[in-house]
Amino acid sequence: MGSITLITGGARSGKSSYAQRLALERSDRPVYLATSRVWDQEHRLRIERHRADRGPQWETVEEPKNLSRRDFRGRTVVVDCVTLWCTNFFYDFDSDVDRALDAVKSEFDRLAAQDVDFIFVTNEIGLGGVSTDPLQRRFTDLQGWVNQYIAQRAGSVVLMVSGIPIKVK
């Protein structure tokens, strides 16, 4: 059985950079499993910049939902990010939190069954208070429940604050 590390924190807290450093300490040829869909031209350019920043030692796999369809056995894999992954299910299921949560948990379980050193990156979007927007509240619920689900299965959980990793578990 592999291992699971969850790295969480706010926007621009240093989560992805930390995850990538950790992966490079564990492997000379890690996998970057990107879950983002391309939303617009600005987002496409951002994705291309991030891909170039990672360097040639990385194998990049782009998969917005069905992460377990690939065989990563024996590898170190950074899954970046859980928030965008949840977003894909949330929108595909017309904001139905229960369906999205069931689908994400099921897909996570299939993925985590592989003998892989996983590093999941996610956002703590609920720290800012309760939104006045009902759609945002539903997504915050989904994200929080998925984060809890992964954290319970993780051997290590790290909270990033202003670029500083704080070990939670």
**Closest residue by Cα to residue 111 from 153, 161, 145:** 153
* DSSP structure class, residue 80: E
> Can you read off the two tokens belonging to residue 76?
């170190």
CB 97 within 8 A of CB 142: yes
Catalytic one of 50, 70, 137, 153: 50
**Closest residue by Cα to residue 107 from 86, 138, 78:** 86
> Can you read off the two tokens belonging to residue 155?
């051997």
Residues in the chain: 169
Instruction: Determine whether 43 is an active site residue.
Output: no
Catalytically active residues, by annotation? 50
